[in-house]
Amino acid sequence: MHIVLDDTAMAAVSQGNVLASRLIHRTHVESGWYLYAPVCALVEADRARPGTAEHLAALPGITVLDLDLPAALAVARQDTWAAAHAQYAAQPTPDRPDGAIIATTAPERWVGQSVRVLDLTP
């Protein structure tokens, strides 16, 4: 299972959200579970809650996704960088043919978008 954390989920991790913590634990103990942190969402989460970026980057099992050229072009077309990078990261790739699920505490943000959502709201 491939899961992308959006900025709200990242902030929830740093605030001790139980569901987010379980998700991180599962990626450590079960094979086939992958957790991604798009860098634009990481920056936004750190702006909202300073220290979040360092905390998440230090956790083993979380892959930070850089803003490469294809991602930058996709992000440039959107209004918000954090959501746009998370949405881009959730799209199918050769490594993730089924795409990824976006973990969030703001599921209403994704209504009408072509993404699968995992609601981490307690």
Residue 91: give its domain's CATH number.
3.40.50.1010
Claim: this prediction has a pTM higher than 0.95: no
How many domains is the chain built from? 1
Range of the domain at 25: 2-119
pLDDT at 14: 84
C-alpha–C-alpha distance, residues 103 and 106, integer Å: 9
The whole-number average pLDDT for the span 95-121 is 95
Place of tokens 């978008």: 113
How would residue 35 be classed by pLDDT, with cut points 50, 70 and 90?
Answer: very high
Instruction: Show the tokens assigned to 93.
Output: 């790739």
